[in-house]
Amino acid sequence: MKYQKRSSEEQIVMSISAAGALCILPFLIIRIYNQDWHIALLNFSTIAITSGLFAYVYLTKRTLLARWLLSITCMFIASGTIWLKGPDQIVWTYPAIICLFFILPPNIAALLSAFTVTLIGCLLFSDISLLDNVRFYFSSLITFIFSYAFADRMLYQQAQLMILSYKDPLTGVGNRRAMEEQLISTVQLQRQRPSHRKASLLLIDLDEFKKINTQQGHACGDNILAQTAALIEHLLSSDQHLFRFGGEEFVVLANNDLEQTINLAENIRETINDFQFEKGIHLTVSIGLAEYQFDETSFEWLGRADTAMHQAKAAGRDLCCLAAS
């Protein structure tokens, strides 16, 4: 069977649904045994809903509707149980709050859990002492604050990790992973809509870069790479994206017609040639340029740009070469 990779959202919804159904099952059996039909019906409905949501996410990989339904189920199973069985079921409030923060964005979870706590508070108000009321609100508030802080922190760290995983740490431009994903989506778009505006690739290789490392040191080489990336990035429009392909090679993905991309390549070559780097270092680049051809893969497209770049090297460097069709 083919292994299906699941997003973290799918995993969270599926595990909470499965855990919910499995944890409630023993209670359902006890309720049926005790002929406690109202709560048995509530437990049965919860198991049916959570199992259904598990199957829905498993089969469709969609989570938006499932997350909302699961949150509403969490809220109502907690308040329903307390309403039917009385104050000794109060403990179900805390897992319900934590669950909401796992499933929904922190601000929405905060609103829904405040609603749930208020609802349960109203149901319990006249059944428990004033001190127990205060205890309930305080313990719910503490659970709420910890869950909010944890969920908010997780969200922030997730966003930071996402940025880091697509960024080259030395130059700050997109890394190879970012480039590959962008290339794949560009190829998909070009295949689906051949009439869509053209896309071209520039493969930019720094000439005789090894000499800089050998003569001036690796740290100086690093600075030159970062400066080169900044110089190129400065020349790009919003339709053109720079990535570090690896080592001293960069790629520009340009969603322009060929003429514009040829101008861009010449502009990059001249700008770097004219620039005075630190310690009086002078640098040139060789550029291979390839326009996307219908139905080729991203690998083939990049391969043609690479061949053109090597032709530029072979022809004496500091040149732009257009790939053969």
Ligand X SMILES: Nc1nc2c(ncn2[C@@H]2O[C@H](COP(=O)(O)OP(=O)(O)OP(=O)(O)O)[C@@H](O)[C@H]2O)c(=O)[nH]1
Q: Give start and end residues of each alpha helix (H) in the chain.
A: 8-33, 37-60, 64-85, 93-103, 106-124, 130-165, 176-192, 209-216, 218-235, 258-274, 298-314
Question: x/- binding map, residues 153-172, to ligand X, per CB under 6 A?
Answer: -----------------x--
Min separation Cβ 136 and ligand X, Å: 59
Q: Is 208 in the site for ligand X (CB under 6 A)?
A: yes
Among 78, 168, 175, 205, the residue binding ligand X under the rule CB under 6 A is 205
Q: How far is CA 259 from CA 65, 92, 255, in A?
A: 47, 66, 12
Q: Which two tokens stand for residue 68?
A: 């909302």
The DSSP output letter for 174 is B
Distance CA 278, CA 257 (A): 35
Lateral strand order in the sheet of 240-246: 240-246, 249-254, 200-206, 285-291, 320-322
Nearest to 291 by CA among 324, 243, 267, 250: 324
Distance CA 239, CA 242 (A): 10
Question: x/- binding map, residues 238-257, to ligand X, per CB under 6 A?
Answer: ---------xx---------
Kindly tell me which of 31 and 269 has the beta carbon lying closer to ligand X. 269
Q: Is 207 in the site for ligand X (CB under 6 A)?
A: yes
Kindly tell me which of 144 and 209 has the beta carbon lying closer to ligand X. 209
**What's the one-letter identity of residue 252?**
V
Kindly tell me which of 75 and 225 has the beta carbon lying closer to ligand X. 225
Min separation Cβ 215 and ligand X, Å: 11
Among 62, 177, 210, 282, the residue binding ligand X under the rule CB under 6 A is 210
Question: x/- binding map, residues 7-36, to ligand X, per CB under 6 A?
Answer: ------------------------------
* Chain residue at closest Cβ approach to ligand X: 221
Kindly tell me which of 40 and 206 has the beta carbon lying closer to ligand X. 206
Among 42, 201, 225, 322, the residue binding ligand X under the rule CB under 6 A is 225
Site for ligand X in 304-323 (CB under 6 A): 313
Nearest to 292 by CA among 192, 217, 166, 216: 192
Kindly tell me which of 208 and 270 has the beta carbon lying closer to ligand X. 208
Kindly tell me which of 105 and 247 has the beta carbon lying closer to ligand X. 247
Angle, helices 93-103 vs 130-165, to 10°: value is 20
Distance CA 152, CA 219 (A): 38
What residues make contact with ligand X under the rule CB under 6 A?
170, 205-210, 213, 218, 221-222, 225, 247-248, 313
